[in-house]
Each structure stands twice: as structure tokens, then as C-alpha cells.
A and B are shown apart, each in its own frame.
Chain A
Amino acid sequence: MTYKICCLRRDLKYGLFFISPSVVFFLLFWIMPVLLALYYSLTRWKVGRPGTFIGFKNYTNLLTDPQFHRSIQASLTITLLAVAGTMVLSLILAVLLNDEHLRGGRLMKTLIILPVVTDWVATGLVWQLIFLPHSGVLAGIFSFLGLRELMGLGWTATKSLAPFAIVIFIVWKTTGLYTIIFLAGLRSIPRQYTEAALVDGANAWQAFVNITLPLLRPITVFVLVTAFVNTMGLFEPVFMLTGGGPSDATRVLPIFLYETFFQFRNGGYASAAGVLFLVLCLGFALLSARSLQYSYYE
């Protein structure tokens, strides 16, 4: 018994030692910035000068700031469209890849994951060329299909199309990751359940809707929350394609934060907006986790 306690203590000591770099990293680069942002959000702080304490003034100003409201609106529009698109597409692809008889599955997986491992900025430049009116790749496709009137569409230059251009880019870039996660989820569901349903007379669609989807719920919640939080925080695709324009149609929260801090140098105001952004993401994560009940299987 004494030996066991001794071993446990030793294991604990070494365990703590091994995780200490991650803990230090997490505290320094994750917890500390959040605490600092909380502190600065209560100050009037122009970057480069000392801040003065103003209580919750930044928060009350944000609540009446039309630019902030528009940013939230733009963020939610792009995020909801992108998350919906990504989830549907990645689920379809995962189901296809889960088919044992599928030929070229490995190649497909490689192709699907390829955009995920590429860089946002580099692929952003490529998508700029794809969306170019008249001479871009999409314009070429429209020309090939005989839809010449669509060649001049200003994908990133018109207010109504710019959010969709960004959504297309995000869906293309992130679908592979969620496909792999869904695929892992599908593979972890015992086949006997579906087979039993099929034997009992259910068709493939009924088995998928009534057996597979409910059992995938924990994965679905995970993908939904992760995709929402990640997409809300995306800066690069917007910055690369539209810079927040045209006419603020794509000025999402990260762009608002960036401009407020680095361009206008309002450190306190940007920190308050960042804290609200955090609250928004956290709130969504908690709501999703609560509203979508978990299902487990033995």
C-alpha cells in the first residue's frame, strides 16, 4: 500500500512535469490575454499611451454603436451560412467515404483534406483570381457554359455577392476537416444497428435518419460548436477577399476589432468588443450543448 502511494505520488509528479510546458503556454498565451482584455476593456486606452479607468463605458458605447451592430450582423450572416454549408457538405462527403465499396476513397480523402492544410492567405490570393469578373476562373466557367451575362459578376465587389464569396471560400477551406470528424463518428457507430434496421424492413434513408443521425449527435454538436466559433473568429478570408467591403457588407467582428485596435488605436474599446465577442461565442457553445441532447450508445 505504501509502495502504491509512493508510486502514485511519483507518477503525479512526473505527470505534472510533463504537462507543465502546455500549462505554462496555456496560461501565458490564452488565459493571460483574456484577463488583460478584461482589464483593458474597463479603460480608455489609446495604444501607446497609459489608459484611464472608465468602468463599463466602453460596453455601453458598444451597445449603441451602429458599426458594432453591423459587424455582428455581418459576422452572423457569414457564419451561419458557412456553418450550414460546411456541415451539410461534410456530412454528405463523410457518408460517401464511409461506404466500404467506394473506389478511390483514399484519393478522395486526400483531395478533401488538401484545402485544410493549405494557408489561408495563399489560398485567399487564389480565390481572388477565381472570383475576378470577366477574366477569373468562375467567369471562364460561365463563358464555357454559355452564360456570358454572368461573366461580369462582381463577386467580391458587390454588396449582395461579397458575403457569399466569403462563404464559398470558407466552406471550401474547412469542409475537409469536418468531413474527417464526421467520418470518425460514422465509423464508431456499430454497423449491427443499421443492419438490424435494414433486416427489419427499413430503407437506407430511414436507417440513416432514425439510427445514424441520432447516434451522431455528440459529433454533430462538436462540429457545430467548433465550426461556429472558428468561423466567427475568421479574419484572413475576409481580409484577403474584401477587406470588410464593399460598403461594410463583410466588415465582420474580427475586422472591426482589428481596425479599432490597430488602425484607430482604441485599445480599450477593442478589448471590450473582444470580450463581448468571447461572450457571444461562449453563449452559443453553451446553448448548443444544452439544446442538443447527447445520445450515447453502449
Chain B
Amino acid sequence: MRKITYFSLLLGRVWLLIVSGALAIVPGVGPATAAQERVLEVWTHEFPPLQNGMTQKWIPAFEAKNPGVKVKLTAIPFAGIVSFDAKLLAALSGGEGPDLWDMGDWNYKTFIDNKFLAPFDPKIFGYASEQEMIDAYLPGTMDIFVRDGKVYGLFSEYNTLALFYNLDMFEKAGIPPLPADKPASWKQIEEIGAKLRKTDPSGALIQTGYQFGFFASFRSPQWYAQNFYALMRQYGQEDLYVDGKPAANTEPVKRALQALYDFTHTSKAYDPTFLNNWFADFPKGRVAMVLAGTWFVPAIKQNNPDVRFGVAPHPVTDPEDKATYKNIQWSWGWSVNANKPPEQQQLAQEFIAFMLGKKGETEQAAWWFNNLGYTQPSKAFFESKAYAEKLAKDPWLRQWVDAFKLYEIKYVPHSYDEPGAALMRAMDRVVYDKMSPEESAKLLQAELERLQ
């Protein structure tokens, strides 16, 4: 009997231990950690250069400047089983999540609708008003972050697309370099791509001429949408919806799909099954042309430091018609959690201002640009000495300066949503199933109508 009593006591204590352990991990219930220490929790998607920049430069510098502040960084894979977007959405929906984070532009509409984001205080960034803050950046680039005059994000990265081509492959095939001041037509790119397609004696494909930014094992809605929207806009339609109604069974949509069909099946300049490694195939001479942003160069040089490449403007449907000079843009932005207390939101904004620079400051933007290829489209940065020096050193960057003068550049409204998925299916039907563009456009229209 005595034994059992001791045993009961022991069991009771085990339960107590479990309960107290559980309580200790609940914020605000457990014992206090270091007195008065403020922790700023930051989430980013996994990209080693970004994590290195944060942990080796910006976090230690901010902590040194703000004694008592500790910045905790968590890097989450962008894609995969636990993807960054899904984890962020789940955390914020539950009223949790980090104090600040870096996310893709496609999330902003929903996140602002859901009131997940705290509006920025322009004074923390050295501006007198939101409008002054917006005007500090190139026209149209801040659109994605702004709602009802308030600013809900600020660039970690901004980019648009230009055409990279492998100079060695061009020279070997006797093809002259592409003009740097005038875009080539899609037809020209297709013809060059077909010439650069190569098979070995057994008929196995060993080299392709052109690579779209989507392919079988890299089903990125962002890349599907970027490639398609540029084409559709050049053919004369802005979006898959016109006046709020689905508009997929239209001439511009069919012609954009036809371009994909021709590249894949008619000329075979593009082979969706060929690419093995996005950043290795181009520098190693397996793919001759790709559309990419400024970040492409640091990444390809890791695979072949001696790669020789040229950069041409984004192709258009008719180089003689300026109305077809249309291109897309995308950005990643830093945002602040609206669920956090005001003082925490303020600290988060101070950290963002510290990393990105306040009004007129350009050295932060120069650091991001030089070290990660991340562009911040602030007017002050584009007019800075640091940017001019970088342009002199890497003349290919001129394409991104000229793009703003040459093209009408806009964000892509549908990629990670249901219409974006329907668009992916329409493109897949043409590329993989060899379905006629007319039929695929008709099915896309039906699917968009069903979603209404």
C-alpha cells in the first residue's frame, strides 16, 4: 500500500512536470528570459546569399546600434514540403508569425485584404508623408505595396526581365551578337534558337536554343505567368480579365499560346523536358538563351566563372511597333506584422529602414545590389555614384536602366492564385499535350468562368 502511494505521488509529479514544461514554452507564462531584452523575429525565404547578408552584416550592425535588441532570423525554403508562403500564411492567419518578413509581390493583395500588414510610418524612413515615400521610387514600381495611400511594404528586391545569351554558343554557330539597343522579335529568337538546337549522333538532345522560365520539374506559377503575360500584353491584352470578366478566348491569348506552341513543336527551339539545372545549363553551354533578372549573373558565375554572355532587351512581337514594347516586373518586399504591439511594429520598421536606407541614403541599396544583385528602384540609388560605377564595371546592367525608358512595365496580377493555376494548365496543354492554342484558350475561358 505504501509502495502504491509513493507510485501515485511519482505519477502525479510526472504529470506536473509535463504541464509545467508545456506552460513554460507558452509566451508570457514561462520564466522571464534576459531582463528587458527585446527580440525581433525575422523570416526570409531560404537563399544563402540573403541569409549571409543578414547574419554577417545587417543583424550584427543593428544589434550593435540598439543595445538590448536581439534579432532572430529564420530562413524557410521557398518551395518544397513546408514552403515559405504556406508557413507565413498559416502563422499570420493564427495571429502569430514574425515581426517582419520578406515576401513575393503576389502575396500583397491578399495579405493587405486580410489586414495582416501594418502600414509603414513614413517618418521612420525620413519622409514627411506616404506620397513623398512613394515618389522616391520609380513610377509604378511601388504600386504593389500601396493601398489607399498607405505603404505596406518596401523593396528587398525589384526586377524585370532581359534576354541573356551565351556568346560562345552564338560564335560557334556563326550567329552575330544581338543588338543591345533594340529588342529582337520573338520570331527571330525562335529562328536562332532552332539553329542552336543540337543532338548527338544517337539523336539525343544535347543543347537547346531557348529556355522559357518554366519546365516540368520547376512548376513555378510566377515563371509561367511572367512568360505568358509579357507575350499577351505585347499582342494587345493587359490581363486575363477585361472589365472584371474572363477574357481568355481572345486573339492576344491565342497568339501568345501559339508562340509557345511554335517554339516547342514547330521549330523545337524550346524543349520543356531538357533543362537539368537552371543556373548551370546556360553557363555550361547547354542552353543558349534565357530571360532572367540581374540576380542571374552571380548565380551562373558560380557554375562557370568564365562564362561569356551578352544581354539584349526583352524580345517583342514587333520591334518596329513601339506599342508592343511591353515587359513585366516583380518584386519582393519587407513587411511588418499588424498583429504585433505598436512598439514592436516600430522597431521592425526601424530595422527595415536600417537595412534599406532612409530618405536620400544610397549606400544600403548599393550594398544589396553589389552583393546580391538585388535592385531597389529608388531614384536616389539610380542617380548615385555607386550605381554609375557599377554600370561602368558591368555594362550589361545597362539593359535594366534602359528597360524603364524602352518598355511599359507592369506587375503580373495572376500567378499563385486560381486563375494563375488555370493559366498554367492552358500553357501545359499546348506545350506538353500539343493541344491547339484555340482549343486550350477555349478551355481556359471555361475554367475562368467557372471560377467567377
Contact = CB atoms under 8 A, between A and B. Distances in A.
Interface of A: 10, 17, 21, 47-49, 121, 128, 132-135, 148-149, 151-152, 154, 156-159, 162, 235-236, 239, 241-248, 258-259, 262-265
Contacts, number: 97
A148 B201 CA distance: 10
A243 B204 contact: no
B110 A248 contact: no
A255 to B, nearest CB: 10
Interface of B: 4, 11, 18, 80-81, 83, 85-86, 89-90, 92-93, 110, 114, 116, 202-206, 215-219, 221, 272-274, 276, 416-418, 421, 425, 428-429, 431-433
Nearest to A154: B273
23 contacts: A17-B11, A48-B116, A128-B217, A133-B276, A148-B204, A151-B202, A154-B216, A154-B273, A156-B216, A159-B432, A159-B433, A162-B216, A236-B81, A239-B81, A242-B217, A242-B219, A243-B217, A245-B219, A247-B432, A262-B89, A263-B416, A263-B417, A264-B417
A157 B202 contact: no
Contacts of A244: 219
Main secondary structure of the interface of A (DSSP, over half): loop
Contacts of A17: 11
A133 B272 CA distance: 12
Contacts of B431: 247
A246 B204 contact: no
Contacts of A246: 216, 272, 428, 432
B203 A239 contact: no
Contacts of B18: 21
Contact of A264 (B219, B421, B428): B421
Given A121-B80, A245-B219, A264-B417, A134 B276 contact: yes
B182 to A, nearest CB: 35
Contacts of A47: 89-90, 93
A48 B217 contact: no
Contacts of A241: 217
A83 to B, nearest CB: 23
B414 to A, nearest CB: 11
The 9 closest A-B pairs by CB, nearest first: A157-B216, A154-B273, A157-B273, A247-B428, A48-B114, A262-B86, A148-B202, A247-B432, A243-B219
Contacts of A235: 81
A262 B432 contact: no
A263 B107 CA distance: 10
A245 B216 contact: yes
Contact of B215 (A134, A148, A151, A157): A157
Given A134-B205, A246-B428, 16 more contacts: A47-B89, A47-B90, A48-B116, A121-B80, A121-B81, A133-B276, A148-B202, A149-B202, A154-B273, A242-B219, A244-B219, A245-B219, A247-B429, A247-B431, A262-B85, A264-B417
Nearest to A49: B114
Contacts of A157: 215-217, 272-273
Given A245-B216, A262-B86, A133 B421 contact: no
A264 B217 contact: no
B110 A48 contact: yes
Contact of A248 (B11, B85, B89, B428): B428
Contacts of B217: 128, 156-157, 241-243, 245
A100 to B, nearest CB: 43
A169 to B, nearest CB: 13
Count chain B CB atoms within 10 A of each CB in A48, A128, A244, A248 and give the residue with the most. Answer: A48
B86 A152 contact: no
A18 to B, nearest CB: 9
A239 B92 CA distance: 24
A262 B417 CA distance: 10
A132 B90 CA distance: 34
A244 B18 CA distance: 42
A132 B204 CA distance: 13
B131 to A, nearest CB: 29
A30 B219 CA distance: 32
A10 B8 CA distance: 11
A132 B276 contact: yes
B437 to A, nearest CB: 15
Nearest to B110: A265
Nearest to B427: A247
Contacts of B11: 17
A149 B204 contact: yes
B451 to A, nearest CB: 10
Nearest to B274: A133
Nearest to B219: A243
Nearest to A47: B93
Nearest to A21: B18
A263 B421 contact: yes
B89 A151 contact: no
B92 A48 contact: yes
A248 B204 contact: no
A148 B85 CA distance: 42
A133 B432 contact: no
A135 B286 CA distance: 12
Contacts of A245: 216-217, 219, 428, 432
Nearest to B416: A263
A263 B4 CA distance: 55
Contacts of A162: 216
Count chain B CB atoms within 10 A of each CB in A162, A258, A264 and give the residue with the most. Answer: A264
A158 B273 contact: yes
Nearest to A132: B276
A259 to B, nearest CB: 7
B80 to A, nearest CB: 7
Contacts of B203: 149
